[in-house]
Amino acid sequence: MSLETLAQSIHAWGIAEWMRSSLKAMPVIESIHVMAITLVFGSILVVDLRLLGLLNANRAFTRIAHELLRLTWGAFAVAAITGALLFTPNSITYYHNTAFRLKMLAILAAGINMAIFEFRTVRGVATWDTTRTPPAAARLAGLLSIVLWVTVIILGRWIGFSKGYDFSIPEEVQFEF
C-alpha cells in the first residue's frame, strides 16, 4: 500500500468524517494540540537553555531534566494524539502539503537529536552535571533542539495557511522590472 493510498484510507475513516462534520471537534482538538505543543516546547526550552548555560546554570542538569521531562513526554503524547486526530479529516491534503512533510521531518530530526543526546552525551553527565557550561556536544544538542522545535512550530502554523506548494514559477509571471 502506498502512502497516498494510506492517506486516502485514513480520510475515509469514521473519525475523520466526524471531525469534518462536527462544528466543535476541530477547534477544541486544535486548541488542545496547541496547548500541548506549547507545553512540550516550553519544558524542552528550559532544559535546552540549561544545556546552553543560559538558564538555571547553578542547578544540576539532571535535576532539571528529571523535573521537566516527564511533563514533556506527557504533553508530547497529547500533542501526537491530537495531531493525529487533526490529520485524519485532511489526510489527502496534508499528504501533498510541503509544510506538513517538512514538519514531520523536523519532528523526526528532533527525535534523532534527542536520541543521540540521551545515548551518547548524557553518558558523561556526572562530569558536567553541575558545571555552569556543559561540554560542546551538550550545548550543540540544546541549540539543535531549540532550532528544530521552533521549526516544528513555524511549519505547524504554515500548514494552517497553505494547501500544499508548487514551487515552480508559472510561465505568465514576468520578472522584468
120 inside domain:
yes
**Residue 36 has what pLDDT?**
98
Record the cell numbers describing residue 41, joined without a space: 516546547
**Residue 177 has what pLDDT?**
64
Q: How far is CA 50 from CA 56, 106, 136, 140, 146, in A?
A: 6, 22, 13, 12, 12
- Cα–Cα distance between 148 and 55 in angstroms, integer? 19
33 inside domain:
yes
Q: How far is CA 98 from CA 94, 103, 136, 150, 167, in A?
A: 8, 8, 33, 17, 10
**Residue 66 has what pLDDT?**
95
Number of domains the chain contains: 1
Range of lowest pLDDT (15-19, 30-34, 170-174): 170-174
173 inside domain:
no
**Residue 174 has what pLDDT?**
73
**Residue 155 has what pLDDT?**
95
169 inside domain:
no
176 inside domain:
no
Label residue 162 by pLDDT band (50, 70, 90). Answer: confident
Record the cell numbers describing residue 113, joined without a space: 537529536
The more confidently predicted of residues 166 and 145 is 145
Enclosing domain of residue 117: 3-160
41-64 pLDDT, tens digit per residue, is 999 999 999 999 999 999 999 999
**Residue 10 has what pLDDT?**
95
- Could you give the percent of the chain with pLDDT greater than 70? 94
91 inside domain:
yes
119 inside domain:
yes
**Nearest CA among 16, 171, 177, 7 for reference residue 92:** 7
| Burial class of residue 86, CB neighbours in 10 A (0-12, 13-18, 19+) | buried
Type of residue found at 75 = A
Label residue 19 by pLDDT band (50, 70, 90). Answer: very high
